């Protein structure tokens, strides 16, 4: 087979596509479907900027072949917000200022969504371990870690708005020692 | 951008073997693709045919069989990292898998692919050798089982014939009163040095010692001369003998200078990681067997 027909659900929308066997997922998403939130950076699956979710699993769109999405669902940064309402992870990143140039942010956020999907209340160390493959050259990671821990609280904390207000700020909140301890380690990683 | 190729999707090992035989050097097995696609993207290699073995039923999955762990070659690292059986019965394997590359590579990359690519800077090949792991190799009309350490012939080179597929990795359990540990160091995503050990204690003595070193030289390998230094010793004596064992292992590892560090540096790290891994394994043996 050189051309592969496939059905794929992208951000909830079903697509019937035919892709060359050698097309990568990032080419498919950016060039074929116009989803430019998927960022191409290192191009060798090291930096995480192109992280998308394939059946809720994080993959590098730069090195995974497009046909691997056959019969599966794909989620990109474009699929997170509902209209004007941001996803809690997006909200937390914004409120914590967990970005500077923003290029790594879509990948960071998608990796976070995957992490919290499988581990809703990670410790700071668990966050650092999981996110190790997502590289940011601007922030020093401190705010990213705080945003992720805060998003975790927002999403699993029960009542809506728990932690949603700025008052419950990052690592100083409920997680106490864990959050603080972890935060210190981040800058020097 | 990748050059064009044809994707073949066999539904059995025999069919895959026939495809590989038919296309010869123009074909390659495609499993996870985390190594192969990178090399193809960089233009280092090209194949006209990729044989997708993930479509073969039964080639992925983990099960326990008489105490041994049987791992389908197309099992992703992430499955091994998270599998409850692996975590409980082979904790050193699960821990090693949690630290392979990054989470996206682990989701897609497979254990069989990792071993067959034989990139010297990799983790599983070193640790699995201290379990005396074997691999099952099959082709149309036959198969063979070999020790994992025999699989590696050189950097990026295995003993697989052109029409053969690695189908299963079998990890036997360690004897009673044993524990394994794997430690690595690296400042890039791939390790500079990886050291795996397994210790078996009996009445306060080291009944068995197994050491494997990876990433440093051309292939991951067992360090039997270094093991001999530790075997039969009382626990404290074995710890005292670690510098000697480390020196022997460092020499035997055939370290080379590359972007992961100088040969001298890696030799030094072999000793450091051996000591730490040995102490970690000792501490993990249940009740230290009569100590």
ipTM: 0.94
The residue assigned the tokens 């290029």 is A103
Please say if the pLDDT value at position B250 is more than 60: yes
Q: Are strands B178-185 and B165-171 parallel, antiparallel or unpaired?
A: unpaired
Taking an 8 Å cut-off on Cβ atoms, the answer to whether B37 and A1 are in contact is no
- What average pLDDT does range A47-61 have in this prediction? 98
Chain A's closest residue to B106, CA to CA, is A59
Which tens digits make up the pLDDT trace of B164-195? 999 999 999 999 999 999 999 998 889 999 99
Within 19-48 of B, beta carbons closer than 8 Å to A belong to 33-34, 37-38, 41-42
Work out the minimum CA distance from A77 to partner chain B, whole angstroms: 16
Of A22, A43, A60, the CB nearest to B4: A22
Give me the pLDDT at residue A90, please.
98
End-to-end C-alpha distance for chain A, whole angstroms = 44
User: B107 at the A interface (CB within 8 A)?
Assistant: yes
Is the pLDDT at B288 greater than 60? The verdict is: no
Q: Indicate the DSSP class of residue B2.
A: P
For residue A157, the model assigns a pLDDT of 78
pLDDT band at B276 (very low <50, low <70, confident <90, very high): very high
Residues A80-139 have pLDDT tens digits of 999 999 999 999 999 999 999 999 999 999 999 999 999 999 999 999 999 999 999 999
**Residue B287's pLDDT is what?**
55
pTM of the model: 0.92
Share of chain B above pLDDT 90, in %: 97
CA distance, residue B37 to nearest chain A CA (Å) = 6
Residues in chain B with CB shorter than 8 Å from the CB of A51 are 104
Which is more confident, B111 or A187?
B111
Q: Does A130 touch chain B (CB under 8 A)?
A: yes
CA distance A158 to chain B (A): 27
CB–CB contact A133 B38 (8 Å)? no
Give the closest-approach CA distance of B183 to chain A in angstroms: 16
- As a whole number of angstroms, the distance between CA A70 and CA A47 comes to 25
Q: Do B104 and A51 touch (CB under 8 A)?
A: yes
Whether A186 contacts A141, CB under 8 Å: yes
Average pLDDT over residues B219-248: 98
pLDDT(A158) > 60: no
Residues of B in contact with A22 (CB under 8 A): 2-5
**Chain B residues 139-198 with CB within 8 Å of chain A:** 189
CB A81 within 8 A of CB A116: no
Which pLDDT does position A178 carry in this prediction? 38
Give the residue from B27, B78, B102 with the most A CB atoms within 10 Å of its CB, the best one to mutate: B102
Q: Using an 8 Å Cβ cutoff, are B27 and B9 in contact? A: no
pLDDT digit string, tens, across residues B45-88: 999 999 999 999 999 999 999 999 999 999 999 999 999 999 99
CA distance B4 to chain A (A): 6
Q: Among candidates B219, B225, B222, which has minimal Cα distance to B244?
A: B225
Q: Closest chain A residue to B6 measured between Cα atoms?
A: A2
Residue-level pLDDT at B286: 77
Mean pLDDT of chain B: 96
Q: Under a CB-based contact definition with an 8 Å cutoff, are residues B209 and B272 in contact?
A: no
Q: Indicate whether A174 pLDDT > 70.
A: no
DSSP string, chain B: -PPP-EEE--SSHHHHHHHHHHHGGGEEEESS-TTHHHHHHTTS---SEEEEGGGSTTSS-EEEETTEEEEETT-BHHHHHH-HHHHHH-HHHHHHHHTSS-HHHHHH-BHHHHHHHT-SS-SHHHHHHTTT-EEEEEETTEEEEEEHHHHEEETTEES--TT-EEEEEEEPPPPSSEEEEEEEE-SSSS-SEEEEEEEEEETTEEEEEEEEEESSSSS-EE-HHHHHHHTT-BHHHHHHTHHHHHHHHHHHTT---BTTB-HHHHHHHHHHHHHHHHHHHHHHSGGGTT-
């Amino acid at each position: 087979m050189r051309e592969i027909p496939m059905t794929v659900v992208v951000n909830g929308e079903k697509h019937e596509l035919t892709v060359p066997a050698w097309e990568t997922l990032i080419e498919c998403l950016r060039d074929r479907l116009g989803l430019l939130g998927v960022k191409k950076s290192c191009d060798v699956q090291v930096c995480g900027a192109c992280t998308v979710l394939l059946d809720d699993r994080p993959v590098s769109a730069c090195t995974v072949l497009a046909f691997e999405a056959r019969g599966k669902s794909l989620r990109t940064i474009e699929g997170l917000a509902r209209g004007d309402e941001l996803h809690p992870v997006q909200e937390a990143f914004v409120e914590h200022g967990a970005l500077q140039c923003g290029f790594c942010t879509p990948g960071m956020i998608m990796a976070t969504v995957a992490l919290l999907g499988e581990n809703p209340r990670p410790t700071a160390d668990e966050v650092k371990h999981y996110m190790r493959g997502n590289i940011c050259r601007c922030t020093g990671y401190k705010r990213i870690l705080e945003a992720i821990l805060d998003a975790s609280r927002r999403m699993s904390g029960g009542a809506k708005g728990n932690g949603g207000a700025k008052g419950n700020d990052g690592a100083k909140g409920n997680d106490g020692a864990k959050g603080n301890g972890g935060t210190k380690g981040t800058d020097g990683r | 951008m990748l050059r064009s190729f044809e994707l073949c999707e066999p539904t059995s090992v025999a069919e895959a073997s026939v495809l590989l035989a038919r296309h010869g050097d123009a074909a390659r097995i495609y499993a996870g693709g985390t190594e192969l696609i990178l090399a193809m993207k960089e233009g280092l290699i090209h194949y006209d045919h990729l044989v997708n073995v993930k479509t073969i039923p039964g080639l992925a999955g983990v099960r326990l069989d008489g105490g041994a762990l049987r791992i389908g070659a197309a099992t992703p690292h992430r499955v091994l990292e998270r599998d409850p059986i692996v975590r409980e019965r082979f904790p050193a394997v699960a821990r090693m898998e949690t630290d392979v590359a990054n989470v996206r590579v682990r989701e897609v990359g497979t254990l069989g692919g990792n071993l067959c690519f034989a990139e010297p800077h990799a983790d599983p090949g070193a640790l699995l050798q201290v379990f005396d792991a074997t691999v099952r190799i099959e082709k149309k009309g036959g198969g063979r089982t070999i020790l994992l350490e025999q699989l590696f012939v050189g950097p990026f080179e295995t003993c697989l014939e052109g029409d053969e597929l690695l189908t299963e990795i079998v990890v036997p359990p360690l004897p009673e009163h044993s524990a394994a540990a794997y430690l690595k160091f690296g400042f890039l995503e791939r390790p500079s040095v990886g050291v795996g050990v397994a210790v078996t204690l009996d009445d306060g003595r080291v009944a068995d010692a197994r050491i494997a070193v990876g990433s440093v030289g051309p292939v991951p390998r067992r360090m039997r001369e270094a093991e001999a230094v530790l075997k039969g010793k009382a626990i404290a004596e074995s710890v005292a003998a670690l510098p000697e064992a480390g020196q022997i292992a460092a020499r035997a590892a055939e370290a080379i200078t590359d972007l992961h560090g100088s040969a001298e540096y890696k030799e030094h790290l072999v000793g450091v990681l051996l000591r730490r891994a040995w102490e970690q394994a000792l501490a993990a043996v249940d009740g230290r067997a009569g100590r």
